Amino acid sequence: MGLFEKILHDDESFIKDFEVLDFSYMPKKILYREREQNEIAFAIKPLFNKTNGSNLLIHGVQGIGKTIACKRILEELEEYDEIETIYVNCWQYNTEFKILSYINDELGNIVSSNKVEDLQKKAISSLNQSSVVIVLDEFDKLENFDIIYTFLEQLYRKSLLLITNFKDVVKKIDPRIVSRLNLKEVEFRPYNQNEIKGILKERMSFAFYKSNVFKDDAFDKIVNTTYEAKDIRRGLVLIKECALKAEEQAKRNIDIDVVDNVVKQMFTRQDYTINEKDELNQDQQLILDIIKEQTEKIKIGNLFALYEQRGGTKTYKSLQRAVEKLEKGKFINVKKSTTSEGNTTLIELKKL
């Protein structure tokens, strides 16, 4: 049999659209988040009457739809001219300068000066032409919270939506800012097993030509693995990888053997993560490489010393932020520990 005769022809493929298996894909309806979306909409509602809306602390573990739910609301608000919407990813824009530059770019403002004061004046002037909803996603990654104070002090009619995986991050904000924010909480609880099953089924209905691509026991394995991780992204990655593996083997259905093999390969390799390693910058990759070399948990102070020995030039605080990103990306495990020497942070490579 020839090489290409073993491979399914295009017209035999069961894959219709893989983009819907990306976590960033935004379905028209966000399943099982009606309550949370209603709470967010209610907080924004006063802006339609030209009064201040509420400011929200939106929190919950990663991979449970906080960002997608907020983006869906912003998308709906685009239909109303009286409300401006701004979404900021604070991983990417983590200083007041970066955020103000980004906002001016989004609004089409041209600012010749690089002074924060000039960027601020132009951005605020434009935003005050209407009411505004500003989402600061993963706001705990901000180097400081000056931008929040700027928004509170200078915007006339606004609703600030602060998204984080860590509720306690509010304790890091100056109490005077917290008092002014008067934050209301919207907690995104983890999906239960039936909800995970429903979400994955919906995505599969968009991704594949037929509804019975996965055999029942194979799909149940993916649901259970996703539920254990408490992260929808794991299920989406598994579905995609299993489909590719099945097509590689010229299968017409995905059975339990395919799923078992993919789970074994993907979640026992120490270098595997649900996020792409290409997203790491040079310093983050160096730190991860050092952690990989350790045979046991390493103290963060010792990690910093090894990082400097290997040519790292960033500060200790920058290393802490890099460790946070590696933990968020499920590259590593991080644990706070109290020893006879005091409090420390222990780090090890994540073994899935």
Tell me: pLDDT of 225 over 70: yes
Same fold for the pair 34-187 and 277-349 = no
CB atoms under 10 Å from CB of 3, counted, come to 6
Closest CA to 38 of 72, 61, 80: 72
Instruction: Summarize pLDDT for 198-219 with one digit per residue, the tens.
Output: 999 999 999 998 888 999 999 9
DSSP state of 21: G
Instruction: Kindly report the pTM of this predicted structure.
Output: 0.74
- For the domain spanning 277-349, the CATH number is 1.10.10.10
CA angle 338, 343, 348 (to 5 degrees): 80
The architecture in CATH of the region 3-22+191-268 reads: Orthogonal Bundle (1.10)
Instruction: Summarize pLDDT for 73-109 with one digit per residue, the tens.
Output: 999 999 998 999 999 999 889 899 999 999 999 999 9
Tell me: pLDDT of 54 over 90: yes
Residue ranges in the chain assigned as alpha helix (H): 34-44, 66-77, 96-107, 116-127, 146-154, 175-181, 193-207, 216-229, 232-248, 256-268, 282-292, 300-309, 316-328
- For the domain spanning 34-187, the CATH number is 3.40.50.300
Instruction: Summarize pLDDT for 237-276 with one digit per residue, the tens.
Output: 899 999 989 988 888 889 999 999 998 877 654 444 445 4
Pairing of strands 184-187, 56-59: parallel
Tell me: pLDDT of 313 over 90: no
Q: What does the domain layout of the chain look like in residue ranges?
A: 3-22+191-268, 34-187, 277-349
Rounded-to-integer distance, Cα 305 and Cα 327, Å: 19
Closest CA to 290 of 308, 278, 277, 272: 308
Tell me: pLDDT of 340 over 90: no
Rounded-to-integer distance, Cα 57 and Cα 150, Å: 18
Lowest mean pLDDT among 107-116, 142-151, 226-235, 272-281: 272-281
